[in-house]
Amino acid sequence: MKYVAIVGSRRRTDRETVDRLVAELPEGSVIISGGAPGPDRWAEEAARKYGREMRVIHPDLEEVRSQGQRTRRYHVRNQRIVDLADEMFALVAPNRRGGTEDAIRRARRKGIPIALL
């Protein structure tokens, strides 16, 4: 069983890229996403469409009192995604900023294969 993280910027609009990616994954692949709008949710929809197992890792936003604390909780969520993943597909933003970049850095530190789309 291979765990495949699919993450991306909500600024992306190419839903068909995620659909095609999920359709082409080997049988038995487990898709992991962060549940955010855009590529993460598209991955969930494609997983249902193609009968793939899906794990959605949401951030714990209970009792968040500041933007900094909120950001740290998203970073913890990103680390949980990377900890589970054997490889990552990342749909990056044109300006290469945001949470997707944090997930990419964490995946690089882990040493898992990353495809930037």
Could you give the percent of the chain with pLDDT greater than 70?
100
User: pTM value?
Assistant: 0.94
R_g over Cα of the chain: 13
* Domains annotated on the chain, with CATH: 3-116 (3.40.50.450)
Angle between helices 39-49 and 15-24 (to 10 degrees): 40
pLDDT digits (tens, 9 = 90+) for 36-84: 999 999 999 999 999 999 999 999 999 999 999 999 999 999 999 999 9
In this prediction, residues 5-9 reach a mean pLDDT of 97
